[in-house]
Amino acid sequence: MIRLANVVKTFNSGKPNQFTAVDDVSIEIRPLNLTVLKGPSGSGKTTLLSLIGCMVRPSSGRIFLHGIETRFARHNESAGSFEITSLPERFLNEIRRSTFGFIFQQFNLIKGISVLENIMLPAYPTGENHTALHQRGMGLLERFDIKRHAPSKVEWLSGGELQRVAIARALINNPSILVADEPTAHLDSRLSHEFMKIVSELKSKGKTILIASHDPIVYDSEIADTVVEMRDGRITGRGHEE
């Protein structure tokens, strides 16, 4: 479980353009569930995702990961329970890499290198054996039916193929938590439904999934366990749960 306690993120603190993007947020995100963060543009969804995903630190408040099985937890014998906000940078990086897989709105794939190289990239810092990594990368491409594109440059791919490359890249380090920011923003409705089908499969295989979206195909989906509504940096509602 991920638990946030009174998390605040203020940008440009103390300056005239000071802005609080996430304002006193306390929520629990259940493991093995699909949680959707919904809210208008500027409500703080991306900021909240980057706080949870250890990409930025909160200005105040605390974030806990409980019972998350990761390489980091095994190394540190912490039984998978830690307060990430107080960890030094290098631990934060390691947790980010071993626990989270990210799918960005613009996919953030790197042009000029191949599809396979793109999806292997997040695994390079782990120093893993190249042959094993290559095999896992090809396995993911096969799973998402884009194996023939392994040597292709990403700029040759269609929107739906790019989306699947982005998903494969997010899964390369076998994360327990998948975070996606507006993943259907550049997809037509057929591809958006296809994306949700993949999300459903990943969920049934034991991933915890967190998606920020203002697309009804995502937040009205029957596979969404919880929909958290944000406005002006605050949580204004929570629906769908039993």
Ligand X SMILES: Nc1ncnc2c1ncn2[C@@H]1O[C@H](COP(=O)(O)OP(=O)(O)OP(=O)(O)O)[C@@H](O)[C@H]1O
Enter the tokens of residue 166.
Answer: 């982005």
Q: Please identify, using beta-carbon distances, which residue of 46 and 85 lies nearer to Mg ion.
A: 46
Name which of Mg ion, ligand X, none residue 101 binds, using a CB cut-off of 5 to 8 Å depending on partner kind. Answer: none
Q: Does 131 engage in binding with ligand X (CB under 6 A)? A: no
Q: Report the nearest approach of ligand X to the CB of residue 239 (Å).
A: 18
Tell me if 85 contacts Mg ion by CB under 5 A. Answer: no
Q: For residue 180, which of 188, 190, 169 has the smallest C-alpha distance?
A: 169
Tell me whether residue 161 or residue 182 sits nearer to ligand X (CB atom).
182
Unique residue bearing structure tokens 């934060």? 92
Q: Is 184 in the site for ligand X (CB under 6 A)?
A: no
For the beta carbon of residue 55, count every other beta carbon within 10 angstroms: 16
Amino acid of residue 143: R
43 binds Mg ion (CB under 5 A): no
Q: Are strands 34-38 and 226-231 parallel, antiparallel or unpaired?
A: parallel
What DSSP line would sit under 93-138, residue for residue?
Answer: HHHHHHHEEEE-TTTTPPTTSBHHHHHHGGGGGGT--HHHHHHHHH
Report d(CA 62, CA 9) in Å as an integer: 11
Site for ligand X, residues 22 to 41, rule: CB under 6 A: 39, 41
**Residue 226 contacts Mg ion per CB under 5 A:** no
Q: Checking phi first, is residue 56 left (phi over 0); if not, alpha (psi -120 to 50) or beta?
A: beta
Question: From the CB of 19, what's the least distance to ligand X, in Å?
Answer: 5
Residues 6+ apart with CB under 8 A from 130: none
Using rule CB under 5 A, residue 50 touches Mg ion: no
CA–CA distance, 172 with 167 (Å, rounded to integer): 9
Q: Could you tell me the smallest distance in angstroms from the CB atom of residue 38 to ligand X?
A: 9
84 binds, among ligand X, Mg ion, none (CB under 5 to 8 A by kind): none
- Stretches 45-53, 126-134, 149-157, 217-225: which one binds Mg ion (CB under 5 A)? 45-53
Q: Does 42 bind ligand X (CB under 6 A)?
A: yes
Number of residues that bind Mg ion (CB under 5 A): 2
**Which segment (43-51, 121-129, 164-172, 193-201) binds ligand X by CB under 6 A?**
43-51
Comparison of 6 and 81: residue with beta carbon closer to ligand X? 6
State which residue, 161 or 181, has the beta carbon closest to Mg ion.
Answer: 181
CA-nearest of 200, 219, 208, 159 to 179 is 208
Residue number with CB closer to ligand X (50 or 70):
50
Binding site for ligand X (CB under 6 A): 11-12, 19, 21, 39, 41-47
